[in-house]
Every structure is written in C-alpha cells, then in structure tokens.
Amino acid sequence: MTSALQDKILAGKVAFVAGGTSGINLEIARRYARAGAAVAVLSRKQDKVDAAVAEIAAEGTRTIGFAADVRSYEAVEAALRQAAAQLGAIDIVLSGAAGNFPAAILGMSANAFKSVVDIDLLGTFNVFRASYAYLNRPGASLLAITAGQAVHPMMFQAHVCAAKAGVNMLTKVLAMEWGPSGVRANAISPGPIADTEGMARLAPTEENMAAVRNRLALRDLGTKTDIAEAALFLASDSARYITGAILNVDGGTDLGDASGAGFLS
C-alpha cells in the first residue's frame, strides 16, 4: 500500500468518539480525521466539545460535536442519532470516557465507587448499545479503552479494576453477539502514557515516574500517538478478522515487573 493511500485508509467512513475532547481520545479522533474519516465527538462540557471540534476539523475532514453525559442512555442515543443524520451511517464507535482517582476502599464512599463504574462501564454499555441502530453493518468497528487494572489488581484502584474488568467482558460478549451482523468489538489497554491526566494522578512525582519506567520492559512511557495508531489499525479494514481482542499497548506492563529487583544486585 502506498503512503498516500495508507494516509487516507478511513476515507468515506464516519467515526463517533465518546470522551473525544481530551487526552488519548482526542488524539484518536484527530488520527481518524487525518486518515480521512468524518468525526463526531461527545463529551460533557460544551466548551471542551467546541475546542475539540475546531482542533479535529483542522485536519481537513467534517467534524461535529455533542455535549452529553455517557451515563445518560437517552442523551447518548440522541447524539448518535444526530451524528448519523448529519454524517451518515457510523463505521467506527470508540468509547473512551473514564474516571479515576487513587483511593483506598475504606476511604471511598459508595457514591465515589459508583461514579467510576457508571462512567467507565455503564457509559461504555450506553455508547455501544445505543450505537447499534446507526451502525454501517456489516463492517462496523467498536473500540473500548480499557486498562491494565482490568486483569491486574492494584491497590487504591478497586473502582477502576471493577469497572475495566466489566468493560473487557462487555467487549468480548458484544463481539460474540454482534459478530453475525458483521460488527467487530475490540479494546485497547494502554500502559503508562506520558502527558495524560491518569499518569499525573498515579505518578505525581519524578520519583514515582522513574519507578514506573524502571518496571517496564521497554523502560519508557508510551505516547498518545502510540494509542492512536493502534486505534487506527483496529478500526481499519486491515483488522477485519480481529474481534473480541484486548490489545495491550503498554510497553510490556502486562508482563509484570521487568526491573529485575530481587534477582539482580
């Protein structure tokens, strides 16, 4: 495939990115636009939606945005309905809205736990379930953003562990149930990604960050571009036979502690 063709591998397609106004999700939305897709983004705050729409539109494709909370099925469904009416049947749906904060279980209220589960898990269900009526089937691609906490327990992350484990299983069941209609469902599990709110919260000091790097097989943080390129691949026809996969884009985080501590002196 020539570089020019590869650059526009999503030409003629429509992408809907929930949570697409900041961080990893915004970078994914921008990458889809550069690849030729028309893009709709959804986020809670109108000012962030407006700023993201302007940034993504600068990539040269049609871009629209909606202010809505992923915890409201009705609001999400209305946004998807309007997106399909304005841009056409939807080929790519990404659910990336998420909440996180470090907290011990005994230091976490029921409402705090519920908030993260509702944003991450219920929000992903709402986005995917509401999208079905507006998908371009067969050939549509669903993509969730999950996390390593889905399979590796982490102290002070009980809410995220529970929510993301649910996202993984939801993705796999959707792949099974919607596969016969030609819809693929996959998830990306990012590792430590530089310049993101999540890393700022989980590793707030240089010492913390150095410790994270030292445990990684690749000894470096990932970038938002790394995740966006993986998201582009999974949304493209190059991944037409991949469904139900949880793709680790994590520098080897899933392998475990690669620092050699306890074995090397």
CATH number of the domain to which 245 belongs: 3.40.50.720
Give the per-residue pLDDT at 194.
86
Q: Hey, what are 139's tokens?
A: 């050939």
Give the per-residue pLDDT at 262.
58
Q: Hey, what are 192's tokens?
A: 């430590």
pLDDT at 159 over 90: yes
Looking at the domain assignment, is residue 213 inside a domain? Answer: yes
Looking at the domain assignment, is residue 264 inside a domain? Answer: no
Taking alpha carbons only, the member of 187, 67, 29, 49 closest to residue 120 is 187
Location of structure tokens 């900041």: 22
Give the per-residue pLDDT at 2.
41
Q: Which ranges of 35-109 would DSSP assign to H, the alpha helix?
A: 46-57, 73-87
Instruction: State whether residue 199 is helix, strand or coil.
Output: helix
Total count of residues recorded for the chain? 265
Looking at the domain assignment, is residue 256 inside a domain? Answer: no
Please give the residue range of the domain that contains residue 78.
Answer: 3-251
Looking at the domain assignment, is residue 162 inside a domain? Answer: yes
Looking at the domain assignment, is residue 148 inside a domain? Answer: yes
Give the per-residue pLDDT at 41.
98
Give the per-residue pLDDT at 263.
56
Looking at the domain assignment, is residue 263 inside a domain? Answer: no
pLDDT, tens digit (0-9, with 9 covering 90-100), for 39-52: 999 999 999 999 99
Q: Kindly give, in sequence order, each residue whose CB lies less than 8 Å from that of residue 111, ignoring residues fewer than 6 positions away.
A: none
Looking at the domain assignment, is residue 12 inside a domain? Answer: yes
Count of domains for the chain: 1
Give the per-residue pLDDT at 81.
98
pLDDT band at 137, cuts 50/70/90? very high
Looking at the domain assignment, is residue 77 inside a domain? Answer: yes
Location of structure tokens 């629209």: 64
Give the per-residue pLDDT at 238.
97
Give the per-residue pLDDT at 211.
82
Angle, CA 74 vertex, CA 72 and CA 75 arms, to 5°: 70
Give the per-residue pLDDT at 197.
76
Instruction: State whether residue 114 is helix, strand or coil.
Output: helix
85-89, 109-113, 169-173, 220-224, range with the lowest pLDDT: 220-224
Taking alpha carbons only, the member of 150, 212, 224 closest to residue 187 is 150
31-35, 63-67, 228-232, 258-262, range with the lowest pLDDT: 258-262
pLDDT, tens digit (0-9, with 9 covering 90-100), for 169-211: 999 999 999 999 999 999 999 999 988 877 777 777 888 778 8
Q: What is the pTM of this model?
A: 0.93
